[in-house]
Amino acid sequence: MHYELREEVYWANMELHIQKLAIYTWGNASGIDREAGIIAIKPSGLAYEELRPEMIVLVDLEGKVVDGELKPSSDTATHIELYRAFVKVGGVVHTHSPHATAWAQARQPLPCYGTTHADYFHGEVPVTTMLTDAEIDGDYEAETGKAIVKKFREAGLKPEEMPAVLSAGHGPFTWGKNAEEAVCNAVVLEEAARMAMMTEGICRQAEAIPGKLLDKHFLRKHGPGAYYGQGEEHV
Amino acid sequence: MHYELREEVYWANMELHIQKLAIYTWGNASGIDREAGIIAIKPSGLAYEELRPEMIVLVDLEGKVVDGELKPSSDTATHIELYRAFVKVGGVVHTHSPHATAWAQARQPLPCYGTTHADYFHGEVPVTTMLTDAEIDGDYEAETGKAIVKKFREAGLKPEEMPAVLSAGHGPFTWGKNAEEAVCNAVVLEEAARMAMMTEGICRQAEAIPGKLLDKHFLRKHGPGAYYGQGEEHV
Amino acid sequence: MHYELREEVYWANMELHIQKLAIYTWGNASGIDREAGIIAIKPSGLAYEELRPEMIVLVDLEGKVVDGELKPSSDTATHIELYRAFVKVGGVVHTHSPHATAWAQARQPLPCYGTTHADYFHGEVPVTTMLTDAEIDGDYEAETGKAIVKKFREAGLKPEEMPAVLSAGHGPFTWGKNAEEAVCNAVVLEEAARMAMMTEGICRQAEAIPGKLLDKHFLRKHGPGAYYGQGEEHV
Amino acid sequence: MHYELREEVYWANMELHIQKLAIYTWGNASGIDREAGIIAIKPSGLAYEELRPEMIVLVDLEGKVVDGELKPSSDTATHIELYRAFVKVGGVVHTHSPHATAWAQARQPLPCYGTTHADYFHGEVPVTTMLTDAEIDGDYEAETGKAIVKKFREAGLKPEEMPAVLSAGHGPFTWGKNAEEAVCNAVVLEEAARMAMMTEGICRQAEAIPGKLLDKHFLRKHGPGAYYGQGEEHV
């Protein structure tokens, strides 16, 4: 079932490991078939070295396993909340990549200090509010997703323009039109987080780039007026 | 003698080198056969490139060499103190991994700033009190172990829930149910130490995660209620 | 057309990737045939893994594509401004290498704290003034180049003695007698930026090296009195 | 001539590159035949990829080339000063390794914050006084060596117990009983410099380890009472 989606999600997970965003069993990537309402996701607690395409688990939007012999990722409920609320998203990634995680642990949004960041994220990357004890005691992984969605609703953020969030005290989640793009955003988020940390190390009073420059860079790569690259057929 | 234990301890030592936690002759891993009272440990001052399984030295709990042509690690007495006091521990590791060592050198416990840390260590990782001149002049390596045990007794820490310590001015020791798990804990400690340093770099007033979140993450991976992973048969 | 120049520019681009100064499609290197007035440059938005020598685009000094099936780099207009103003330059490189970019994001010139820096850059590496909204709305990439040239004119800097600049809120540009030397300067700039950041981390009141030492090191490698190396035939 | 010494010095130089202490043509290692008064040293400005054992240059203690077709390292005069003053030294290394160089650029001695450092360097690693303009204008490379020797004489340091120095605004020099040991000390110095920087990052009031612990670790590896390792035949 869903052989291609599984294959794609398998490679997205492997890329997390290859790009050094995830060691041991950490991190997970998923992709969704919107028409069928089927999510393909990494199995729980499996080392990347042991992962095979056929081990990718299929679940529906209620979290019920549809196909696969293994338990799905313990973070599956978080992915589902994101797929439900962000209806154009086709892939979701969670990592503990060190620099992005450090910002999540510091519970601070990631400022946009430069065009590297602006090329992918249209403004500062938000950080969620720390979960309450009741939320942690409840359906923890689903609450993690709900806190992200709540943050985006309150701040008026569009998931298409801000494909990343820092989960307070935990780590980053990223997304994209498919699992591969979500991984790419996870890689760039880690790099932007690293550069921002160093920028503040050099100058504590560092300032975000002007809104005009932010728009210029984001929009030269995204949306109808984009002119970066060779056009869709080449990407 | 004890071929399997030697092989296991050999690979644990090599993993320290492969994971870049130990260069040259630094670091050492050991494992114990509790029934026989036999510890297998790296020989002293040997480069990882030269290490072979048959070179692993067997010592008893008094530190007497039982089998092996080489001298055991100069830190053997520290390992023995830990095996004696922490009776469920099956493997011990010592490294000079840079970030964990930096915290040991700063003589500060490693705060739990996030779930990455909480997944493996149930609270802040303690740091020992600096040895007195008399302790250094005495049986130094055994005193290093005794200082760790004393710290755990005084702080009421359980070695099963806190499989790591920072030896003041020296470096980390970690342990686990066997040598392989002790190495894994050394890798994660290094990563948690790195993230914590960066977290404080971003925000000097960084706060430890709430106790509820700490418990949630530690207990979803450890103990009777654990639901992370595929169950014992898969780990 | 211009097979050798394309080959040279191809390898310069690949070297950016190999030296880890550029991931995905980031960064670009170009070279110029001064007699023909032809610039060879990386195509826009192409991943290094997919790049082949024949894909290198040829443009003239007006930015018109002379040969090649792909669109040239979106930063082509910046390269052209530099070639026009700095008439001895034979190659230009742009990267988002993390440490140099952090200085650009902090909008601070890179101080010359040591001889490593002085061997390649005759003084502190300048940072441009942030572009105005009008400049960003205008011919953005050309304005980026003009801001660099303006900085050099105002500060009385010679491009031959200072083959690098930090574009504010953006990242570094470097140049040299050809594309290969421009890449080398990009690598060294990244290393000098990293060392300078650490130098200030160790000592906030770090001081630039004395002018005499700066001159000694720059001039022992460059100009008529140079005595470092084996002479031109060996470089 | 001196085939074995050349081979040994060749490998020491390559090790600098392999251990990532030197890129491009940076850094140099040398070894001496004390009886013959012959020093073997890297040629000037040659990339490590091009280096071959037969290219190693032989010079005498006056700096005169005795054998070899290439010019010796531009730092040869510094090496010679060290060999002359430190009569038990058999190998010298100079690098621009980033962390050690950052301390040299900050013009601060490297404090001994832990046993990793104490295992190799008996106390804080000294930093030289910045050269005067007259010294820079004079025989610069020889003056660099003389400043090191002067520092050791004034501080009463023994080269055998402190096989490293930070040359102010420049970078580290290390030495040992041969070129191989000098390289090892360069690797450890870089690691100790990195750990010390991080230690101060975690705690600005970090303290050097007690003298008793310093002595214990240095002396368990060096001198007549050493018990670390397998004895001389195994090193």
Q: Which chain D residue's Cα is nearest to C197?
A: D102
Verify whether the Cβ–Cβ distance A43 to B230 is below 8 Å: yes
Is the pLDDT at A107 greater than 50? The verdict is yes
How many CB pairs (< 8 A) connect A and C? 89
A67 in active site: no
Q: Which residues of A touch C143 (CB under 8 A)?
A: none
- Asked if the C-beta of D235 comes within 8 angstroms of chain B's C-beta atoms, the answer is yes
Give residues with Cβ within 8 angstroms of D134, minimum separation 6: none
Tokens of A179: 């699992």
What is the model's pLDDT at position A234? 39
- Over residues D92-112, the pLDDT tens digits come to 999 999 999 999 999 999 999
Q: Which residues of C touch D169 (CB under 8 A)?
A: 113-115, 209-210, 213
Tokens of C21: 């100064």
Is the pLDDT at D214 greater than 80? The verdict is yes
Containing C193, the helix (H) or strand (E) segment is helix C179-202
Verify whether the Cβ–Cβ distance C137 to A212 is below 8 Å: yes
| b/e A137-163 (16+ beta carbons within 10 angstroms → b) | eeebbbbbbbbbbebbeeeebebeebb
CB D137 within 8 A of CB C212: yes
- Provide the pLDDT confidence category of residue A143 given band limits of 50, 70 and 90: very high
D39 CB neighbour count, 10 Å cutoff: 27
B34 CB neighbour count, 10 Å cutoff: 13
What is the model's pLDDT at position D231? 79
**Mean pLDDT to the nearest integer, A191-200:** 98
Facing residue for D229 by CB, picked from B23, B44, B99 = B44
**Mean pLDDT to the nearest integer, B116-127:** 98
Tokens of C211: 């002018």
Task: Return the biggest CA–CA distance within chain B.
Answer: 53
**Rounded Cα distance, A72 and B87, in Å:** 35
CA–CA min distance D52, chain C (Å): 15
Of C33, C67, C119, C139, the catalytic one is: C119
CA–CA min distance A16, chain C (Å): 14
Question: Is the backbone of residue A190 left (phi > 0), alpha (psi -120 to 50) or beta?
Answer: alpha
**DSSP state letter for A48:** G
What is the model's pLDDT at position C233? 44
Least confident of A140-144, C186-190, D223-227: D223-227
Give residues with Cβ within 8 angstroms of D156, minimum separation 6: none
Helix (H, G, I), strand (E, B) or coil at C93: strand
C62 CB neighbour count, 10 Å cutoff: 7
Is the pLDDT at D233 greater than 80? The verdict is no
Task: Convert chain D into a string of H (helix), E (strand) and C (coil).
Answer: CCHHHHHHHHHHHHHHHHCCCCCCCCCEEEEEECCCCEEEECECCCCHHHCCHHHCEEEECCCCEEECCCCECCCHHHHHHHHHHCCCCCEEEECCCHHHHHHHHHCCCECCCCHHHHCCCCCCECECCCCCHHHHHCCHHHHHHHHHHHHHHHHCCCCCCCCEEEECCCEEEEEECCHHHHHHHHHHHHHHHHHHHHHHHHCCCCCCCCHHHHHHHHHHHCCCCCCCCCCHHHC
- Over residues B165-184, the pLDDT tens digits come to 999 999 999 999 999 999 99
Q: Which of residues 44-83 of B touch A (CB under 8 A)?
A: none
Backbone angles phi, psi at A123, to 5 degrees: 125, -170
Is the pLDDT at D235 greater than 60? The verdict is no
Across chain A, what does the average pLDDT equal? 96
Residue A11 lies in a domain: yes
What is the model's pLDDT at position C231? 79
Is the pLDDT at B233 greater than 50? The verdict is no
**Rounded Cα distance, D28 and D77, in Å:** 12
Residue B234 lies in a domain: no
**Mean pLDDT to the nearest integer, D207-229:** 95
More confident residue, C109 or D225: C109
- Asked if the C-beta of C187 comes within 8 angstroms of chain D's C-beta atoms, the answer is yes
- Asked if the C-beta of D96 comes within 8 angstroms of chain C's C-beta atoms, the answer is yes
Is the pLDDT at A235 greater than 50? The verdict is no
Tokens of B126: 């303690």
What is the model's pLDDT at position C232? 57
Helix (H, G, I), strand (E, B) or coil at C134: helix
CA–CA min distance C151, chain D (Å): 27
B140 in active site: no
**Mean pLDDT to the nearest integer, A108-134:** 98
CA–CA min distance A134, chain B (Å): 9
Interface test mutation site (partner D, options C117, C119, C209, C218, max chain D beta carbons within 10 A):
C209
Facing residue for A203 by CB, picked from C45, C70, C106 = C106
Q: What angle do CA B104, B77, B117 make, to 5 degrees?
A: 35
What is the model's pLDDT at position B1? 83
Q: Which residues of B touch D203 (CB under 8 A)?
A: 106-108
Is the pLDDT at D144 greater than 70? The verdict is yes
- Residues of D designated catalytic: 119, 228
Is the pLDDT at D232 greater than 70? The verdict is no
Is the pLDDT at D219 greater than 80? The verdict is yes
**Mean pLDDT to the nearest integer, B75-79:** 98
Verify whether the Cβ–Cβ distance D227 to B200 is below 8 Å: no
Quote ipTM for the complex: 0.95
Is the pLDDT at A73 greater than 70? The verdict is yes
Q: Which chain B residue's Cα is nearest to D203?
A: B106
Residue A233 lies in a domain: no
Across chain D, what does the average pLDDT equal? 96
Give residues with Cβ within 8 angstroms of B71, minimum separation 6: B43, B44, B57, B65, D229, D230
- CATH number at C134 reads 3.40.225.10
Q: Which residues of C touch D98 (CB under 8 A)?
A: 191, 194-195, 198
- Provide the pLDDT confidence category of residue B235 given band limits of 50, 70 and 90: very low
- Asked if the C-beta of D208 comes within 8 angstroms of chain C's C-beta atoms, the answer is no
**DSSP state letter for A42:** P
What is the model's pLDDT at position A1? 83
Q: Which chain D residue's Cα is nearest to B21?
A: D191
- Over residues D55-93, the pLDDT tens digits come to 999 999 999 999 999 999 999 999 999 999 999 999 999
What is the model's pLDDT at position C71? 97
What is the model's pLDDT at position B232? 57
Single pTM value for the model: 0.97
Q: Find, among B92, B107, B90, the residue nearest to B28 by Cα.
A: B92
Chains adjacent to A (≥3 CB pairs closer than 8 angstroms): B, C
Chains adjacent to B (≥3 CB pairs closer than 8 angstroms): A, D
Query: Could you tell me the residue range of the domain that residue B57 belongs to?
Result: 3-224
Is the pLDDT at A137 greater than 50? The verdict is yes
CA–CA min distance A198, chain C (Å): 6
CA–CA min distance D25, chain C (Å): 9
**Rounded Cα distance, B183 and B203, in Å:** 30
Amino acid in position D168 = A
Q: Which chain A residue's Cα is nearest to B213?
A: A136
Per-residue pLDDT of chain C (235 residues; tens, 9 = 90+): 899 999 999 999 999 999 999 999 999 999 999 999 999 999 999 999 999 999 999 999 999 999 999 999 999 999 999 999 999 999 999 999 999 999 999 999 999 999 999 999 999 999 999 999 999 999 999 999 999 999 999 999 999 999 999 999 999 999 999 999 999 999 999 999 999 999 999 999 999 999 999 999 999 999 999 999 997 543 3
Of B119, B120, B137, B139, the catalytic one is: B119
Verify whether the Cβ–Cβ distance C227 to D74 is below 8 Å: yes
pLDDT > 70 in chain D, percent: 98
Give residues with Cβ within 8 angstroms of C94, minimum separation 6: C27, C28, C29, C75, C78, C79, C171, C172, C173
- Provide the pLDDT confidence category of residue B231 given band limits of 50, 70 and 90: confident
Facing residue for D98 by CB, picked from C184, C198, C209 = C198
Verify whether the Cβ–Cβ distance C195 to D25 is below 8 Å: no
Helix (H, G, I), strand (E, B) or coil at B165: strand
Q: Which residues of C touch A195 (CB under 8 A)?
A: 98, 101-102, 105
Give residues with Cβ within 8 angstroms of B84, minimum separation 6: B61
Is the pLDDT at A231 greater than 90? The verdict is no
- Asked if the C-beta of C192 comes within 8 angstroms of chain A's C-beta atoms, the answer is no
Chains adjacent to C (≥3 CB pairs closer than 8 angstroms): A, D
- Asked if the C-beta of C220 comes within 8 angstroms of chain D's C-beta atoms, the answer is yes
Is the pLDDT at A233 greater than 60? The verdict is no
pLDDT > 70 in chain A, percent: 98
Q: What is the total count of domains within chain C?
A: 1
Facing residue for A74 by CB, picked from B196, B228, B235 = B228
Q: Find, among D27, D32, D91, the residue nearest to D58 by Cα.
A: D32
CA–CA min distance B223, chain D (Å): 33
- Asked if the C-beta of C196 comes within 8 angstroms of chain D's C-beta atoms, the answer is yes
